[in-house]
Amino acid sequence: MKLIEIYDTTLRDGEQAPGAAMHPSQKVEIALELQSLGVDTIEAGFPASSEKDAASVAEISRLCRTCRIAAFGRTTTEDVEAAIVGVRDAEHPRITLVMPASDLHMYSKLRINDMEALELLPRMVRMARNKCAEVEVIAEDSTRSRPEFITRLFQTAVTAGARWFTLA
């Protein structure tokens, strides 16, 4: 068993830096290079954000056969559907769902409270898990959340089929 895995977010999170926008062909080139370096997981992009990003995630999924390819999405039906399409041709697909975990982010981003979040997250995880073997959950703004809430949030995600978890 590997003790350390490399999860690269250059193609999604890295592109958010000012002046770092990449052409789809550049994303594919970078993904192939990351694969050749032995990166375990490449977060290929955010398919629901644009048609270009959806196309580049799909192309990376087709070309990168030895590493895990993750598609990023929020906990909305549209994002999960786009992520499913993005990684459907990947040899080792993963869907990464970001869930606001603090009261501030839950309200400002989704207009929901913690009880609604505990209902929403497992529904979205199950939707993703029905089409993709690996689902990851990122608890966004977790440092402002209550530890007992994070525990409950992750427990609901485990029950729904998620196996990878990140505090962000």
The CATH classification of domain 7-167, taken from the options 3.30.1490.20, 3.40.640.10, 3.20.20.70, 3.40.50.300: 3.20.20.70
Residue appearing with tokens 């497992």: 122
Other Cβ atoms within 10 Å of 115 Cβ, number: 9
Q: Choose among 65, 50, 60: nearest CA to 30.
A: 60
Per-residue CA distances from 67 to 2, 6, 21 (Å): 14, 10, 23
Structure confidence at residue 68 (pLDDT): 98
Rounded CA separation 139/167 (Å): 5
What are the backbone angles phi and psi of residue 153, rounded to the nearest 5°?
A: -60, -50
Task: Kindly list the domain boundaries of the chain, sorted by start residue.
Answer: 7-167
Structure confidence at residue 29 (pLDDT): 98
Structure confidence at residue 26 (pLDDT): 96
pLDDT digits (tens, 9 = 90+) for 117-131: 999 999 999 999 999
Positions in the chain short of pLDDT 70: none
Rounded CA separation 71/62 (Å): 13
Structure confidence at residue 37 (pLDDT): 98
